[in-house]
Amino acid sequence: MVDAAHVEDVIVSATRLGCRFAPAEPSMIKVHHLDHSRSLRVLWMLEELGLPYQVVNYQRDPKTWLAPQALRDVHPLGKSPVLQDDALVLAESGAILEYLADRYDSGRQLSPEPMPAQAPERVRYRYWLHYAEGSAMPPLVMTLVFSRLRNAPMPFFAKPIARSIADKALKGFVGPQVKLHMDWMERELGQSPWFAGERFTAADIQMSFPIQAAAARGGDMAAYPRLQSYLTRIEQRPAYQRAVERGGPLNLGGGSR
């Protein structure tokens, strides 16, 4: 018998971790999608799984490139993607991909068997799912921030100072960090064609965004032939192309977060 108090504790804990439970009503999956953002990965995952879904589109402010206030009505952080599935409202792209795999990928088309937990494919799958946002994206976001700082409107006397700070940060720390991660990903794709191993998985969907961002923000992809080939292969997948048709193409050079 299910303990009602235990169920309430689970709901409260889940809410604190970035998801909440909306009033239950039968409906198809709904994705709150911000243009030029990480949420394209969620549309792509749904297309790979062949699941029906509804897209609620949001447009960035053309001047600030920020998400609209309306997204705060969906999730307190006002970020995208946000997935609604029946009563569940879930944020964070990695968490959403894991949830979709656990709930809907019964044939393990896009995810390894959960047990044994130490199986090589399972370990690599979990690692790259978390690495994408936890390690790869921070230096790429810093590249964007310092590049925008360098060219931001400001009093003429402040421009040389701001540019000097930005250039030193980019050259002395951020640039070397980006190269470190790009070199690491390039080496890893030398071991297998996909990040988790010999087959395409949700880890590749999650890893697509940092590599696309690096390529769009001035990365010398000629120095990374495996990553370049990887981008070509994922962008040729029919499910990826259908996701772009539904959510719009990515423009990651202008300030996507």
CB 210 within 8 A of CB 132: yes
Number of structural domains found in the chain: 2
> Which residues have CB under 8 Å from 212's CB, separation 6+?
231, 250, 252
My answer on whether 128 and 83 are in the same domain is no
My answer on whether 19 and 88 are in the same domain is yes
My answer on whether 201 and 143 are in the same domain is yes
Within-domain flag for 253: no
pLDDT at 46: 98
pLDDT at 19: 57
> Which residues have CB under 8 Å from 218's CB, separation 6+?
none
My answer on whether 92 and 157 are in the same domain is no
pTM of the complete model: 0.83
Whether omega before 81 lies within 30 degrees of 0, making that bond cis, reads yes
My answer on whether 23 and 132 are in the same domain is no
| CATH code, domain with 48 | 3.40.30.10
pLDDT at 253: 62
Per-residue pLDDT of the chain (257 residues; tens, 9 = 90+): 444 444 444 444 444 445 554 444 446 899 999 887 889 999 999 999 999 999 998 888 777 767 788 888 888 888 889 999 988 999 999 999 999 999 999 999 999 998 999 999 999 999 999 999 999 999 998 887 777 777 777 777 777 877 888 778 888 888 899 999 999 999 999 999 999 999 999 999 999 999 999 998 766 789 999 999 999 999 999 999 999 999 998 887 654 44
| CATH code, domain with 170 | 1.20.1050.10
How many angstroms separate the CA atoms of 23 and 156, rounded?
54
How many angstroms separate the CA atoms of 42 and 38, rounded?
8
pLDDT at 74: 87
Q: Which residue segment(s) compose the domain that 46 sits in?
A: 4-104
Please state the separation of Cα 109 from the chain's center in Å: 20
